[in-house]
Amino acid sequence: MTIGMINTAQPYTGIGNYAFSLFEAIKGLVDIDHVFFNTKQFTVNELTTSKKIASSRRIPFVDNNPFFYYRMQGYIPKYDLYHLTNQNISFFKVAPKVITCHDIIHEMYPASKMHLMMGKMMYKGLKNAAHIITDSDATASDLQHKYGISNEKMTTIYLGIDHEVFRPHEDVSSIWSKYNLERDKKYILHISSEQPRKNIEGIIKAFYRLKKQSGRKDLVLLKAGEPQYAKDRKGIMSLIASLGLEKDVLFLGRVPTDDLVRLYCVAKMFVFPSYYEGFGLPVIEAMACGCPVITSNVSSLPEVAGDACIIADPRDDQKIASYMLELLQDGELRSSLVHRGVDRASQFSWERCANETAKVYARVLEDI
C-alpha cells in the first residue's frame, strides 16, 4: 500500500515545516512519497526521488496559489492513500484522503469577505475526507462546530520540534553583531506574520505600558518574521510612531532557524498573545530553548502551553504588561517557568507525531 503525502507549502513556513519534518520522521515507518507543489518554481516534484512530475508557466493576473493547485492537481501520481498536509488543498480530487487541518482561520478569523469566500472554496473537501488529523483539540472543536464533522472522524496529533536544534545554547555570540544587538539591553521576543489575529498591536501597547510602568530604558522588543501583507506592517509602524517607540522596537525580518534558536536563548521572555492559533509552534520552540512564555487563554494556546506558560487575555494589554514586568522582576517565577517549559516542550516530537500519523494511515487503509 503506497501513500502520497501532498504538500503545497515551502519548508520555511509553519505548514511547510510540518510536512517536511513529518516526512523525514515517517518515511521509515510506511511506504510514502512526498509530492511538493512548488509555487516558487511552478513545478510539481516527487521529492522522494528528486523527480519533476510537471511544470507550468504562471498565468499573469490570475495565477494565485489556489488556482495553480487547481490546474496542476491532475499530475499527482496514483496512490492507495493520499495525505493532504494542509486544509487549504482539501478540494483536491483524490481519494481516499487523509487531511491535516491545522486551523480554519478563514472561517474563525476572516480578514475580509474575500478571505472568507476563499476559505469556503479551499476547505470544501474537508467533509469528504476519509479522516482528518488536527493539530489540537481546539481545532477539532472548531471543525465540529463549523462543519458538523464527528469526533470519530478526527484525531488530534500534536506537532513536534527538533530537540537537537531547539535547546538552550550558551554560545549566542553569532547574533549580537548580525542583528546589531547591544549586550546591555534586555530583549523581549515575538515572531509572527503580523496578521491581525497575531495581536502584535496588543504586544506593542503592552510593551509601551511596560516601559512607562518600569521606567527602564534598557528594554527592547524584537520582532522576527516578515509581514504576510504590507498593509499590516504599515499599521504597526504607525502605532509605533504614535507611541514614540521607534528606537525601542527592532524588526529583524525572516530569521534562519539557528539564529531564531539563539534569539530565544537571549530573550528575557517570548510573548505570543494571539487571538487565534491552530497550534502555536513558536510557544513550544521558545520553551524548549529555556525562554519563559506569555501566551493567550484562547483557541489552542492553553492546550499547548499546559502549566508551563503565563496565560493572559489577549485583549488586556495592561495585564500583559504587568505579567511582563513580573517576569523581569521575579527571578523565582522566571526559573520555574524555564524548568517547566523545557519539560513541557520535551513531550512534543516529530517521532511521536509520525508514529501517531502512521496509525491513522493504517486504520484508514483497513477500512478501504
My answer on whether 154 and 29 are in the same domain is yes
Counting as low any pLDDT under 70, the low residues of the chain are 61-64
Look at residue 167 and tell me if it is in a domain: no
Look at residue 230 and tell me if it is in a domain: yes
Q: Which of 219, 196, 192 is nearest to 321 (CA)?
A: 219
My answer on whether 183 and 221 are in the same domain is yes
pLDDT recorded at residue 191: 96
My answer on whether 15 and 77 are in the same domain is yes
Look at residue 363 and tell me if it is in a domain: yes
| 169 within 8 A of 134, measured Cβ to Cβ | no
Mean pLDDT (the chain, rounded): 94
My answer on whether 143 and 274 are in the same domain is no
CATH number at residue 286: 3.40.50.2000
Number of H helices, E strands in the chain: 14, 14
pLDDT recorded at residue 68: 87
Question: How many Å from the N-terminal Cα to the C-terminal Cα in the chain?
Answer: 11
My answer on whether 130 and 250 are in the same domain is no
Amino acid code (one letter) for 300: S
Which strand ranges, in their side-by-side order, compose the sheet holding 51-55?
Answer: 51-55, 43-46, 32-38, 3-7, 81-84, 97-101, 131-134, 154-156
pLDDT recorded at residue 62: 66
My answer on whether 85 and 231 are in the same domain is no
How many structural domains is the chain composed of? 2
Rounded distance between C-alpha atoms, residue 93 and residue 165, angstroms:
37
Domain residues for 230?
173-345
**Ordered DSSP codes for 326-353:** HHHH-HHHHHHHHHHHHHHHTT-BHHHH
Q: Which of 131, 162, 174 is nearest to 356 (CA)?
A: 131
With 0-12 / 13-18 / 19 or more C-beta atoms within 10 angstroms meaning exposed / middle / buried, residue 276 is buried
Look at residue 166 and tell me if it is in a domain: no
My answer on whether 197 and 339 are in the same domain is yes
My answer on whether 66 and 137 are in the same domain is yes
Q: Buried b vs exposed e over 75-99: b needs ≥16 C-beta within 10 Å?
A: ebeebebbbbbbbbbbbbebebbbb
Look at residue 24 and tell me if it is in a domain: yes
Look at residue 168 and tell me if it is in a domain: no
Q: Which of 75, 42, 74, 35 is nearest to 59 (CA)?
A: 42
Look at residue 197 and tell me if it is in a domain: yes
My answer on whether 353 and 341 are in the same domain is no
Which residues does 237 contact at the CB level (< 8 Å), separation at least 6?
none
Rounded distance between C-alpha atoms, residue 172 and residue 155, angstroms:
39
My answer on whether 10 and 144 are in the same domain is yes
Cell of 97: 484522503
pLDDT recorded at residue 74: 93
Look at residue 325 and tell me if it is in a domain: yes
My answer on whether 289 and 328 are in the same domain is yes
Considering just the CA atoms, what is the radius of gyration of the chain in Å? Answer: 21
SS3 content of the chain, % helix, strand, coil (to 5): 45, 20, 35
Q: Which of 88, 197, 107 is nearest to 147 (CA)?
A: 107
Rounded distance between C-alpha atoms, residue 276 and residue 199, angstroms:
9
**Ordered DSSP codes for 135-196:** SSHHHHHHHHHHH---GGGEEE----B-TTTSS--S--HHHHHHTT--TTSEEEEEE----G
My answer on whether 23 and 113 are in the same domain is yes
Amino acid code (one letter) for 194: E
